[in-house]
Amino acid sequence: MSKATDGPERAVNGLLSVAQLLEEPRLARLYTFVLRNDEVTIDDITDELGLPRTTAYSDTGTLVDLGVLTRDDDQKTHTYAATPITLTATLDGDEYTVTPTLIAAFGRSSHDQDLDLLLERHGLGKLAAALTYAVPYADGEMSERVAARELDLQYALGVAILHALRDVVVEMESVDPYLEDIQDARERGLGTED
């Protein structure tokens, strides 16, 4: 491949990889599982995620093809590792960065009724917006009341979403090198106490 096409080709392929991770919760969940555990085998995946072996092989193959997992073929038992990915989008001057934490939150939706309900009713954009409040909430820098109110959801659902996302943020803090790139509601002047 020529160096002239490497940058654009890599960027577009990265965009497509992130898009696919944000369309299939099972792939997102698998990706973040591997990311959190450094190197895993198919047995680790089937044991921890409860996937059938054929699905685990198929999904890891898909993620390797997308370029977000690598497979070490040097051993009899192949191991898989994940690369932390990031995608920054700018639309009309507003910038948002997709990091492994958003992918983890999306992946958790298939096993969390509150996150699933949020996605069903409000879409992935609302999940990303909720994450901008969950980060300062998880850090203890924004109260639950203020964060839930600012989400513009029914209060009880807002609180449930914050609790679910707090767990995701805490879980991903040590493995998401781009966590600080998630736009924080405090940076936009939102979520100040009344």
Q: Which two tokens stand for residue 136?
A: 């300062």
Predicted TM-score of the model (pTM): 0.88
User: Residue 16: is its pLDDT beyond 80?
Assistant: yes
Quick one: average pLDDT of 37-66? 95
Asked whether the beta carbons of 82 and 35 are under 8 A apart, the reply is yes
Mean pLDDT for the stretch of residues 74-80: 88
Grade residue 188 by pLDDT with cuts at 50, 70 and 90. low
pLDDT band at 1 (very low <50, low <70, confident <90, very high): very low
* Residue 117 to residue 115: CA distance in whole angstroms: 5
What local confidence, expressed as pLDDT, does residue 3 receive?
52
For 171, the token pair is 């879980």
pLDDT, averaged across the chain: 89
Strands 79-82 and 87-91 turn out to be unpaired
Contact 39, 46 (CB under 8 A): no
- The structure tokens 């990265």 sit at 14
Could you give the CA distance from residue 80 to residue 61 in angstroms, rounded to a whole number? 10
Which H helix or E strand runs over 28? helix 25-36
Percentage of the residues of the chain whose pLDDT score is greater than 70: 91
Calculate helix-pair angle for 124-138, 100-108, nearest 10 degrees: 110
Using the 8-state DSSP alphabet, how is residue 21 labeled?
H
pLDDT 10s digits, 93-124? 878 889 999 999 999 999 999 999 999 999 99
* Strongest mean pLDDT among 46-55, 87-96, 145-154: 46-55
Three-state DSSP class for 130? Answer: helix
**Alpha-carbon Rg of the chain, whole angstroms?**
18
